Amino acid sequence: MRKKLILIGLIIILIIVGWAFHLFTETRPGLVNIKADVSINADELYNQFQVDETVANKKYLDKIIEVNGIVTDIEQTDSTLSIELKGTETGGVNCGIADVTNKKLSFQKGSTISIKGRCSGFLMDVNMVDCVIEK
């Protein structure tokens, strides 16, 4: 009886580990060919979150948004890129782009660009993930 309980416990643990691994490695679909739900300027998007975060969350959270704005900061690691678009003096829109290995940037600080991404909420900045740079 004890061996059966140990075996059942190990099977349950293996199922949980397998499921967690699947969730961790699952790739989200890219947004290149997906139409944006909303097109907005970065300063307007930031201001809406700053004025009333609850209303802005209902309007933008988990939606595909095309944001236009001026690049105020660019941070690149080996495989990710974080672009900050100007909102106000206190914050802006932070756009995260994954898998930028060996890609040359066609813009710099001060450039006006358009970025499409999924809004993931507000924490000092409006945060967007799965972003792609629109031309």
DSSP-assigned letters across all residues of 58-112:
HHHTT-EEEEEEEEEEEEE-SSEEEEEEE-SSS-EEEEEEE--TT---S--TT-E
| pLDDT tens, residue by residue, 9-37 | 999 999 999 888 877 776 566 666 788 88
Task: Please give the pLDDT value at position 19.
Answer: 87
User: What is the average pLDDT across 48-72?
Assistant: 93
Which position has the higher pLDDT, 88 or 14? 14
C-alpha 104, offset from chain centre: 20
Report the percent of the chain where pLDDT is more than 90: 51
Task: Please give the pLDDT value at position 102.
Answer: 54
Which position has the higher pLDDT, 104 or 87? 87
45: exposed, middle or buried (Cβ count in 10 Å: 0-12, 13-18, 19+): buried
Q: Which domains does the chain show, CATH number per domain?
A: 38-134 (2.40.50.140)
65: pLDDT strictly greater than 70: yes
Task: Please give the pLDDT value at position 16.
Answer: 94
| pLDDT tens, residue by residue, 103-126 | 667 788 888 999 999 999 998 899
